[in-house]
A and B are shown apart, each in its own frame.
Chain A
Amino acid sequence: MIYLDNASTTEPSENVKNAVVDAMNNFGNPSSMHRLGINAENIIKKAQGNIANIISSNPGNIFFTSGGTESNNTAILGYCRQNKKRGMHIITTTVEHPSVLAPFKMLENEGFIVTYLKTDNFGLIDLNEFEEALTNDTIFVSVMAVNNEIGTIMPIDKLKPIMKKKAPKAVLHVDAVQAYGKIPIKVKQWGIDMLSASGHKIHAIKGTGILYIADNINIFPLLNGGGQQKNIRSGTENVVGIAAFSKASEDVLKYNKDYVGQLRDYLKNGIEKNIDRIKINESKKETQAEHILNISFLGLRSEILLHSLEMHEIYVSTGSACSTNKPMPSHVLTSIGCSRDEIDSAIRFSLSENLSFDDMDAVVEALKKEVYNIRKYVRK
């Protein structure tokens, strides 16, 4: 099996599996007064430390959620609804994940004014345009750190200084689900007020995310109840998932981005050399994440190529969820100026360190054969 869908989810590592079993043995409720509860609470404290280490924050500012979607919803809805008296203007980009765009849409329906920043062909927002969009009424900005479809690294370190100048009231939220552990993140230094991440993108397990919330940020909680996690997120903590996230965060410190970058270059060159009529959908060298490679194989429909690769036990994802019955072209590829043909034929290869150069050779071989076959048979 050659798994090239790591931006969707990753295989849990052996370390993580062991951590999960250990945590299941420490089954106490972290809120219990007795020793079992304290043991469970200690797992959480340790996790906060490991996670804070990755994003250069204090452990006490890490809150656990059910995943990236809940973190994004909590940050966006929780903050804006709580602070709408301070202003009704909020900003995001056209290339965000649906779990950011959907809550923005909700807020728009509730009367907020939303500015959607467009991107250039490299998937980057224009900082001048950003500056112009900010007003005295702006209270919230959400920009993703790494794009999930094409891997653009946004200039999130440059946003807060501009905001301080033009919209001193505004806070900054960063969706770092694809960035966490893969690129350096310094929440304090960069002035990030809230940041979302998810465990299962870094070889932990599904069902656990985090939201970093800086001090002095007021949030209206989405879930209410027993008051766990300083009343930001009620509900008994998912200790097993948190233990997995914790272990995976320790391990991701050793993430070898140079190696993953070499794999990406190797695969890209192999495809460029062997297959004609392709278009690589990517950012500039210096703003491109190593683990994502998006390529359009013009003249075919990506879903068919995906299933053909499946026969070789090669697993990829389509650049967009698109088929004849659901004509919804990818908003990201649209935003970077792709044509309909380029969007319909886009495949996303997302890499991990578990892959080898031999794997990349096998992928190129399979692509050569299958792209040829499909182009022969299927009319666009």
Chain B
Amino acid sequence: MKEIILVKYGEIILKGGNRPKFEKLLMDNIRNAVRNIDNIKMNIAQATIYITPQNDDKIDLICERLSLVFGIVSVTKAGVCEKDMEAIRTGALEYCKNALMPGKKFKVEAKRADKHFPLTSVEISMDVGGYLDDKIEGLVCDVHNPEVTVKIEIRDYAAYIYCEQNKLSGQGGMPIGTGSKATLLLSGGIDSPVAGHMIAKRGVEIDAVNFFSFPYTSERAKEKVIDLASILAKYTSKINLYIVPFTEIQLAIRDNCPEEHMTLIMRRFMMKISERIAKQNKAMALITGESVGQVASQTLAALNVTNSVVSIPVLRPLIGMDKKEIVERSREIDTFNTSILPYEDCCTVFTPKHPTTNPKLVNIEKSEAKLDVEELIEKALAGIETITVYPKM
């Protein structure tokens, strides 16, 4: 029996005039996501993308990859058969017999999108259900609590059969590219990858910036950030990572500014440098993993101080989340185990003993004025290392 993949997409159905453009973007992203696996054929009809793999062996791998593409709600393998009741009956038996073990509770759920088909949805369900019940000994029909649900969709060109239990949930959201670009401040921690994922999910392309303080942080810490970027790239297809040399700035702050202002001045440098990088690369916003009150530099007073140096929007998708919720998300998107590897990141080495939690902007600005901010930034920008990071599979 011929097998294809049915991809259902969500939110873009609701779009008006932009819908065809968004659908094309989604199809481009799908092709891109599986380009190393198979040269797939795709067509689109009735809010479903039909994917025919060239190579049948790769079908499960393709489904797995597609479940990570933003904009997709579900991915299902399905058997294809003619729109003829005899073909549908035998097709359902053939395609689902591995799942329909004796003793299993099952039901059949048909959907008739093609209203010209002579039987109604309920009639098809009853017909096929009765047939399967006859053919497989010990099967129990249970429409309320089925263990196996055989789905039959009668569409324009063919009938499709699959087991509901084999359906993979997609990420949801919007296809990448529908929402221009933003620049993510990516540390080695738990929060920033989650923040990046949340914004990317809304269709935004992501660049990442990391601040690197060798020898105060190690090569391994940098490798860890590249690993995190490559996990995010599973969802976004690729990420440009800008590694900014930061040691000189940190030492200058350390030498010239009061210890309790150290972190905030550092954060202000990070924001300014990120904004420059964003503008150079036509990104329209910054993304941070900040959450109110999580650490001293994330109190509202502190956010005021760090926010005041940039003019483009700063997106903070985690702002109202608890650490526990963020950790859950990071497990879901598979960045957690990399984030907790024990290498120093640039924030942890230079932390003052008693950072100020209720800073006044004028005081911070006064401390900062002791530095040649522009020169330090120019020097850091000149030393940037750019890495294009591809998905880690």
Contacts and interface: CB of A to CB of B under 8 A. Distances in A.
B342 A377 contact: no
A307 B342 contact: no
A308 B216 CA distance: 8
Given A307-B216, A310-B215, A378-B216, A324 B353 contact: no
A69 B254 CA distance: 44
Interface in B16-74: none
Interface in B338-362: 340, 342-344, 348-350, 352-353
**A301, A308, A324 — which one has the most chain B CB atoms within 10 A of its CB?**
A324
B214 interface: yes
B353 A325 contact: no
A300 to B, nearest CB: 11
Interface string B170-186: 00000000000000000
Nearest to A308: B215
A303 interface: yes
Contacts of B251: 377
B342 A304 contact: no
Nearest to A305: B215
Interface in A276-325: 301, 303-304, 306-308, 310-311, 321, 323-325
Given A304-B349, A377-B254, A378-B349, A323 B343 contact: yes
B218 interface: yes
A85 B219 CA distance: 50
Interface in B208-253: 214-219, 251
Nearest to B254: A377
Contacts of B353: 379
A117 B259 CA distance: 45
Tell me whether chain A's interface is mostly helix, strand or loop, or mixed.
mixed
A326 interface: yes
Nearest to B247: A377
A323 B215 contact: no
A379 B348 CA distance: 12
Nearest to B215: A307
Interface string A255-272: 000000000000000000
Nearest to B345: A325
A308 to B, nearest CB: 4
A15 to B, nearest CB: 31
A303 B344 contact: yes
A325 B215 contact: no
A325 B218 contact: no
B342 A325 contact: yes
A326 B219 CA distance: 18
A325 B187 CA distance: 14
Given A377-B251, A378-B349, A379-B353, A324 B344 contact: yes
A326 B348 CA distance: 12
B304 to A, nearest CB: 26
Contacts of B216: 304, 307, 378
Interface of A: 301, 303-304, 306-308, 310-311, 321, 323-326, 377-379
Closest 8 CB pairs of A and B: A307-B215, A326-B342, A325-B342, A308-B215, A324-B348, A323-B342, A307-B218, A377-B254
8 contacts: A307-B217, A310-B215, A323-B343, A323-B344, A324-B344, A324-B348, A325-B340, A377-B251
